[in-house]
Amino acid sequence: MTIFHRIALLIMSPGMATMAIFGFVFSWNDLLGPLVMLTSTENYTLPLMIAQLRTSLYARDYGAIYLAIAMSMFPILVVFTFLQRYMVAGISFGSLKE
């Protein structure tokens, strides 16, 4: 197990960080899953609320829609900020000559 932790996890960490970012973005922006499972509008997720704001045909409040989109981007940016060093390390890992 120590060999696995010292070698394999070190090599796999950029890929795992990338998969963590993509998995978080996919689950954060999921629209159909919560739409099918949630019955109360009080429990709607942020993408569902944005879709609900956009469904009104005549009275669209674009300020509220753009604010909700900006709010939904904030957690994605936070996760990417914390995991970007692993992605950059994986990109530069293959370019080193010894």
Is pTM beyond 0.75? Reply is no
Residue-wise pLDDT tens digits, 51-92: 888 877 677 788 888 998 899 899 889 988 888 887 776 666
Which of 15 and 74 is assigned the larger pLDDT? Answer: 74
What residues does each domain of the chain span? 14-92
State the average pLDDT for the chain.
Answer: 82
- Helix H segments across the chain? 2-3, 9-28, 32-37, 46-54, 62-93
Collapsing DSSP states into helix, strand and coil, what is residue 44?
Answer: coil
